[in-house]
Amino acid sequence: MDNGASSYRRFLDGDDNGFIEIIKDYKDGLILYINNFTRNIFTAEDLAEDTFVKIVTRKPRFSGKSSFKTWLYAIGRNVALDYLRRHSVVEVSTDELQQIREEEESLEAQYIKKEDNIQLHKAIRNLIPQYRQVIWLVYFEDFSNIEVAAVMKKSVRSVETLLYRAKQSLKTELNKEGFEYEKL
């Protein structure tokens, strides 16, 4: 049974510990996923928190047609896109930018852990947003193409094409850095 779904059901039945489990299990991944949209780790943290607040206050129905993680990331994606529509221009000082980058790198290092994966993740940053998103969901979050299609609101075929192009673009980025890749 999907732990997120069972935790959410427990939360809806009045067990607050169910929601605490959801936050523990999905917070870091959701923050890094949202960071692909915002490119600001502090904003991504705030938007992940907004996602969880939205779930607590509105208690949306989880139908079970997808995994709980897919459902949660789709809500996070919508929160991030709403934010980007409202805040199209953001000014950041050089000192703040350096602090944001340091915090982002620290969180990424904890989450990714291997040096090769860190290099790979940095190359992914240089991709266009849709490529970053599809690669992140498939390779870092282990989503199936069907789940990615649900999150991105695209057809499975579109996701397959997008993933192929994203991988080609990523290979080009990795070649620029002299990175040796095996499984792309």
Q: What would the pLDDT profile of 127-160 be if each residue is shown by its tens digit?
A: 999 999 999 899 888 999 999 999 999 999 999 9
Task: Please tell me the chain's helix, strand, coil percentages from 3-state DSSP, rounded to the nearest 5.
Answer: 75, 0, 25
- Residues whose CB falls within 8 Å of the CB of residue 37, separated by 6 or more in sequence, listed in order: 44, 77, 80, 81, 84, 129, 133
Domains and CATH numbers, the chain: 1-113 (1.10.1740.10), 114-184 (1.10.10.10)
Q: What would the pLDDT profile of 60-72 be if each residue is shown by its tens digit?
A: 988 888 889 999 9
Q: What would the pLDDT profile of 86-110 be if each residue is shown by its tens digit?
A: 886 555 566 666 666 676 666 665 5
Distance between CA atoms of residues 111 and 106, nearest Å: 9
Q: Check: CB of residue 47 under 8 Å from CB of residue 76.
A: yes
| Percentage of residues in the chain having pLDDT higher than 70 | 78
